[in-house]
Structure 1
Amino acid sequence: MFQMRQCTNTFFKQRQRPCLEYQIKRCRAPCVGLVSPEEYAEDVNNTIRFLKGDSSDIHSTLIEKMEDAAEALDFEKAVLYRDQLSMLREVQARQAVYTVQGEADVIAIASQAGMTCVNVLTVRGGRVLGGKNYFPDVDSSEPLADNLSAFITSFYFQVTDDLPAEIILSHEIPDQVAVSEALATHFGSKVVIKTNVREHRSEWLDLATLNTSNALKTKLGDYLELHARFGALKDVLAEVTDRTIDRIECFDISHTMGEATIGSCVVFDQGGARRRDYRQYAIHDIQGGDDYAAMKQVLTRRYKKQPLPDLLLIDGGKGQLNIAKDVLTELGILNDTLLVSVAKGRRAQGGFRSITFYRS
């Protein structure tokens, strides 16, 4: 609405001309000075006021600015303010049903097929500002109320520093009074935890519950697709190995003109990408551009301390594969994994890859 920039500070500082966001009218290009600092600061202020629910004041200010711009024959600015007014009215119309007083976090929980989802819907100034889905690592066989209680304590004591006046829950938690008192002591303000609500608060809770249900369906759909891919991988590898493939670790070497060599490891299992297990290794004491030596170093450092995955993927051809084979042989663990290298080959531009297996 107010065309705030979404880029990082590093990207912002390096710009010498407007990016695509400016062309599609989602940013006013403060990076190259196409908007004055004062005007951009006003946009920032309007955004903050809008998120706090001060839409009526913004509405009056925009009307006044539009009229002033039209009188000064600055029609380009007048159109800008007109468009902002139009978008503001559209958002107000969407949220008309929620224009009541109150600040609350609306929290709903649901579980399906061993997966648990919690949706936190944020309501400030009587307006729904948005929500976020969480998939906590809990025992789905436990009662939902117990898992919800554990999530609430973790969320308010470790994740957020904002405590609203109300917390509306989809399930009554067993230690509701104790949790309320603990939150009040921690934040220094009173909070009321509710489960039985009516009218608009009931609609907020219905919305949070719907979000939870939709998020679970999407997550389970992704899981089923991933499970099917692992099944297809098993079929492809049936002639090579009969081991169950659950964890995959992939290695690649990169450098800048032979300098600053880095070995990267990404990890996947049947739950998807394991980003917390990703690692980067700074490579030292090798000749610049020697990918074989770099691969040897990173694999040695990795598997001296870590167990092997079911499938070890190496980016490269037979040379890199032989280096990996030598490293695992030296460590005495060559037969503990399936070793595969993936090279670009001559037809890489068409999406083709050359795959080489090592059979023990």
Structure 2
Amino acid sequence: GRYFGPFASAGAVGRTITALQRAFLVRSCTDSFFESRTRPCLLYQIKRCSGPCTGEIDFPGYTALVREATDFLSGRSRAVKEDLARAMEQASADLAFERAALYRDRLAALSAIQSQQGINPRTVEEADVFAIHQEGGYSCVEVFFFRTGQNWGNRAYFPRAEKSFTPEEVLGAFLAQFYDDKPPPKLVLLSHRIEECELLSDALSIKAGYKVAILVPQRGEKKELVSHALTNAREALGRKLADTATQSRLLQGLAVALGLPHSPRRIEVYDNSHIQGTNAVGAMIVAGPEGFLKNQYRKFNIRSEGLTPGDDYAMMREVLERRFKRLLMQQAADPDKTDDPEKDTVQQWPDLVIIDGGLGQLNAARGILDALGLTRIPLVAVAKGPDRDAGRETLFLPDRPAIKLEPRDPVLYFIQRLRDEAHRFVIGSHRKLRKKDMREAGLQEVPGIGPARKRALLHHFGTLKEIERASVADIGKVPGISAESARRIFDFFHARPA
């Protein structure tokens, strides 16, 4: 297939796919979904798809739609609009008014797409625009992506760098890594001139197979694009600094509430997830002064053979033991490497460990840390309130009475956010693991479903994914499947993890 991109975000990709559906009626479903259809889906009914799965459009007709979509993404949007206008006029002349209305709607969708681009360069066909702004010891690099004369979105990056680095040095180091996993455009526009600009241009040209120019424009439309990107970088960094100030106040409040010696720079939160002991997984999320550090997140597949299914305490012990043994091994291998608050590097040892659970989980965690000789790491367990009500949590600490914060305390909201983020991450990890097992096992694990019923289900729905998506009523329509069996199958695929 052909590559179109890069896009600024997943949201930009989603908007582009929606635009292609409205303007060109191309399908967005998976191949397995496409092959199992016996009647058009909802997207066909709302005129977001031409229905090639059930022959609502023939192969040459759908090929023409795909070609038009490719031309549009390749920058030939004017030619595509002219062709659609001619087709609409011809359909109107032939008195085929329904067909003419379809062309009219597609033209309107194309016009809407182009009007929503925001910045539409007149002379720049393909370019990436980089602008950097520094303030308060932070750097923000704003990147705009222009392809085929269209704005494909923008994104702000906050690279970690020494506070003494100049904008040129930060931007140069950022650019050297940016195109590691993506093809460069023919033109790169910068707000600051970097060292070894010609060398980087030659390296990108060799990688791309065509000339890549790197410029710092001084006038004209290119200068306007860079100025706009610089404004965005300044505003994005302002929002980042405001968020960081709020985060600092919350960390200070957390330190006061828990009696910590200083504001934590690294908080690790742990949680487990399983369904009756199956597909058990543990997870760690990390937060600090800059918010959630998602590149530091870790998941742990629970693999102890002697573990009793559903034993949350044993799962927590395994996760913490594996995590902190690894830290101790890394420290033993490089004893000179320490966490220095003055250095702009990611701290590895936590200043606070939060466990999702009550007194039992706290004691399990404390037992592991004590056994490893890590008695100075602050530890707290967060237990949900009665009826699992948010705002009534109890905080358990070692050798201290449990505490409750006021329901409207910002620090309590902060703790809830940390706990909920850990819960979200571990639930997602559990579901991925469970879906993988279900794909590998098929219907073998569904209780009470024998070979004949499995064949009937697959014959009716086509794929395991369609069975997973089906409602209880849809499953009950399969010959040989009773209402009770339908409910059992539905519950198997939609069971909620602990």
Establish whether TM, by shorter chain, passes 0.5: yes
**Aligned-residue offset at 1:353:** 2.0
SS of 2:386's equivalent in the other structure is coil
Per-residue deviation at 1:323? Answer: 1.2
C-alpha separation in 1, matches of 2:381 and 2:34:
39
What's the C-alpha RMSD, in Å, of the aligned pairs?
A: 3.5
Letter in 2 for 1:124: R
Alpha-carbon spacing, 1:280–1:31, altered in 2? closer, same or farther (3 Å): farther
Structure 2 match to 1:184? 205
| 1:100 and 1:127 in contact (8 A); partners too | no
User: Which residue does 1:272 correspond to in 2?
Assistant: 291
Is residue 108 of structure 1 aligned with residue 131 of structure 2? yes
Residue of structure 2 aligned with 1:153, choices 132, 157, 176:
176
Equivalent residues of 1:109, 1:148 under 8 A apart: yes
**In 2, Cα distance between equivalents of 1:204 and 1:357:** 54
Aligned to 1:58: 80
After alignment, is 82-91 or 39-48 more displaced? 39-48
In the alignment, structure 1 segments of 5+ residues that lack a partner are none
* 1:141–1:298 CA distance, 2 compared to 1 (3 A): same
The answer for the alignment partner of 2:219 in structure 1 is 198
Distance 2:244 2:137 in 1: 12
Alignment-derived partner of residue 309 in structure 2: 288
- In the alignment, the residues of structure 2 paired with residue 260 and residue 293 of structure 1 have an alpha-carbon distance, to the nearest angstrom, of 15
* Alpha-carbon distance change, 221 to 14 in structure 1, aligned in 2, over 3 angstroms: farther
SS state at 2:245 partner: helix
Assess if the C-alpha contact under 8 Å between 1:2 and 1:84 holds in 2. Answer: no
- 1:251 pairs, out of 262, 270, 287, with 270
How far 1:93 moved relative to its partner?
4.8
Q: CA deviation at 1:147?
A: 2.1
What is the 5 A alignment of 1:22-37?
22=43, 27-28=48-49
Which position in structure 1 is the counterpart of 2:361?
320
- The answer (yes or no) to whether the contact 1:108–1:205 under 8 Å persists in 2 is yes
Q: CA deviation at 1:88?
A: 2.3
Question: In the aligned structure 2, how far is the partner of 1:325 from the partner of 1:51?
Answer: 57
Is residue 100–residue 125 contact of structure 1 (8 Å, CA) maintained in 2? no
What's the % identity of the aligned pairs? Answer: 34
2:232 to 189, 196, 211: 211
| CA apart distance, 1:56 | 1.0
Residue 348 of structure 1 is aligned with which of 373, 388, 412? Answer: 388
Q: Alpha carbons of 1:196 and 1:254: their partners in 2 closer, same or farther (altered >3 Å)?
A: closer
User: Post-superposition shift, 1:132?
Assistant: 2.6
Q: For 1:350 and 1:14, locate their aligned partners in 2 and report how far apart those are by CA, in whole Å.
A: 43
Give the secondary structure class of the aligned counterpart of 2:79. Answer: helix
Give the corresponding residue for 1:120. Answer: 143
Shift of 1:148: 1.9
Aligned positions, number: 353
1:232 aligns with 2:253: yes
| Partners of 2:52 and 2:58 within 8 A in 1 | no
The within-5 A match list for 1:124-135 is 124-135=147-158
Indicate the larger mover: 261-270 or 3-12. Answer: 3-12
User: How far did residue 254 of structure 1 move?
Assistant: 0.9
Alignment deviations for residues 183-239 of structure 1 (CA, whole Å, 9 cap, x no partner):
33343322332223432212212222122222212222222222222122123223x
Q: Kindly tell me: are residues 327 and 97 of structure 1, through their superposed partners in 2, closer, same or farther at Cα, counting changes over 3 Å? A: closer
Q: 2: distance between equivalents of 1:13 and 1:45?
A: 22
Going from structure 1 to structure 2, the CA distance change for 1:196 and 1:24 (only over 3 Å counts) comes to farther
Cα deviation, 1:139-179, whole Å, max 9, x if unaligned, reads: 242221222222222223x1322331x22221122322333
Partner of 1:339: 379
SS at match of 1:340: strand
Q: Which amino acid aligns with 1:113?
A: G
Q: Which letter does structure 1 place at the counterpart of 2:324? A: Y
Q: Does 1:82 align with 2:104?
A: yes
Question: Could you tell me whether the CA contact under 8 Å between 2:127 and 2:145 is conserved in 1?
Answer: yes
- Aligned to 1:2, the other structure's residue is in SS state helix
**Aligned amino acid, residue 381 of structure 2:** S
TM-score computed with the length of structure 2 as normaliser: 0.62
CA distance in 2, matches of 1:143, 1:188: 31
Q: Which residue of 2 aligns with 1:330?
A: 371
Q: Which runs of 5+ in 2 are unaligned?
A: 1-18, 329-348, 401-498
Deviations 1:236-282 (A, max 9, x none): 223xx434322111111111232111111111111221222211111
Instruction: Letter of the 1:89 partner, please give it.
Output: S
- 1:172 maps to what in 2? 193
| Counterpart Cα distance in 2 of 1:228 and 1:34 | 61
Match of 1:261 among 280, 286, 290: 280
- Which one of 159, 164, 180 corresponds to residue 141 of structure 1? 164
Secondary structure class of the residue paired with 2:392:
coil
Counterpart of 1:173 in 2: which secondary structure? coil
8 Å Cα contact 2:184-2:212 kept in structure 1:
no
Q: Secondary structure at the match of 1:111?
A: strand
- What letter is aligned with 1:233? L
Q: What SS is found at the alignment partner of 2:326? A: coil
How many angstroms apart in 2 are the aligned matches of 1:33 and 1:223? 53
State the alpha-carbon separation in 2 of the partners of residues 354 and 197 from structure 1.
Answer: 60
1:2-41 aligned at under 5 Å gives the runs 2-3=20-21, 22=43, 27-28=48-49
Q: Quote the residue 1:305 is aligned against.
A: 326
Distance 2:47 2:265 in 1: 43
